[in-house]
Amino acid sequence: MIVQIDSLLTIPGIVIAKDTMQIPVEKRFPKAIIFDMDGVLVDSEPYHIEVEKRMFQKVGVDVSDEEHASYMGTATDVMWRQIIEKRQLSHDEEEMTRLTNQEGIPFFSALEKLEPMPGLRKLLDFLENKKVPMAVASSSNPETVQIIIDKLGLRKYFRHTISSGSVGKSKPAPDVFLHAAKLLGVEPENCLVIEDSKNGIKAAKSAGMFCVAYGGASSESQDQGEADIVVDDFEKLTRLLFAED
């Protein structure tokens, strides 16, 4: 049964724009898939939030949960730049970014283990068997990305793991996705991105890529309206991507 809610049609587990009841034929069987990390591969957003809240308290900055959620998907330096500009603070953006990373890296290193999102490993195995090249494109700092990927035990699946801070502007700019496509040797229009945040979705669309929004974990606070399709189950995504009709 299909239920209309405002401008969207919903099916259990899937939210799709009214004129997009399935992934277009030309976007199925993608030549490359680029994954965001936080909120897509792993429910790590609560950890980032905890680290950042510690920093807010240390420097005496009051950031509401709503404002904090608006920074999801952006790099730490972008977050601090906006916080400082909004409040006209004298804090140094680079120093605040360095201190936040200094707080976060040992925090993530101390975690005994991280679990991938439900159904993710099955999807990755399927894509690997299909010989679909994959990469991770994250707004987290490079060292944190490596720590998390290793703790998840997912490194073997990805040809490249890329941090936006290493390639240019952070999301919502498209730089990290365009760089990932270049490394994979695939044109942007032939890449598919899996994201969860508003900023990440905007970056993927700005890169000219088909964007699937993952609607699980910590995505409840995110506006995913710009995505081409929203799914909350990786098995459903597999069926949609590789449908033969």
Q: Is 36 a catalytic residue?
A: yes
Cis before 172 (ω within 30): yes
Question: Which residue is catalytic, options 6, 38, 92, 150?
Answer: 38
SS3 for 35?
A: strand
Among residues 6, 19, 36, 228, which one is catalytic? Answer: 36
Q: Please confirm, yes or no, whether 150 is among the known catalytic residues.
A: no
Side by side, the strands of the sheet bearing 229-231 are: 3-5, 8-11, 14-17, 229-231, 210-214, 191-195, 32-35, 134-138, 160-163
DSSP alpha helix (H) spans, 88-135? 93-110, 120-129
Among 161, 167, 171, which residue's Cα sits nearest to residue 196? 171
Question: 200-230 burial, b if ≥16 CB within 10 A, otherwise e?
Answer: bbbbbbbbebbbbbbbbbbbeebebeebbbb
Residue with tokens 């792993």: 42
First to last CA, the chain: 20
Amino acid identity at 200: G
Provide the annotated active-site residues.
36, 38
